[in-house]
Amino acid sequence: MPANETSLSPDQITQKLESFCAYRERCTNEIIQKLWTLQVPKEEHDNYIAYLIEQNFLNESRYIAAFVRGKSNIKKWGKNKIVKALQAKNIPAEKIKNALCDVDENAYLSQLQTILLKKNKLLNEENNFKRRQKLINFAQQKGYETDLILKILKQLNI
């Protein structure tokens, strides 16, 4: 079958993109990937993206805020991991910085303390130095800043 027989009409593409955006918040990078999977020529991408922004289906600031909230509150990610994930989606550094300002510092520190206490209970390590190192590595993998990790461990006497 020739390729043009299976291709979608502009209205069908628009409908698919609207549904894609309505399901959950999306960033421009995800829309571009979707356009590629729908086999939309590159020169038409900007038109579809402009339409989605105009119709408020695509709002990068709203996406970033939802992403930061979700990864911080639900996945218990630290700021470093959130920044790396957003950078991978080609989000501008200034927008990332602004979104991270909305994170409640007290809740963030409390969350770090909670995950360190929980992990500490699960460790079978008798050597205090090794135990502490494992906790630091765990929290760093979750994306927390080393200085905050050390501060919390000191408060906890670990």
Residue-level pLDDT, tens digit, the chain, 158 residues? 344 445 788 899 999 999 999 999 999 999 999 999 999 999 999 999 999 999 999 999 999 999 999 999 999 999 999 999 999 999 999 999 999 998 899 999 999 999 999 999 999 989 999 999 999 999 999 999 999 999 999 998 88
Q: At 126, which helix (H) or strand (E)?
A: none
- Tokens representing 14 are 């628009």
> What pTM value is reported for the model?
0.86
Per-residue exposure over 43-61, b if at least 16 CB sit within 10 Å of its own CB, e if not: eeeeebbeebeeeebbbbe
Q: Return the domain boundaries, the chain.
A: 3-54, 60-100, 105-156
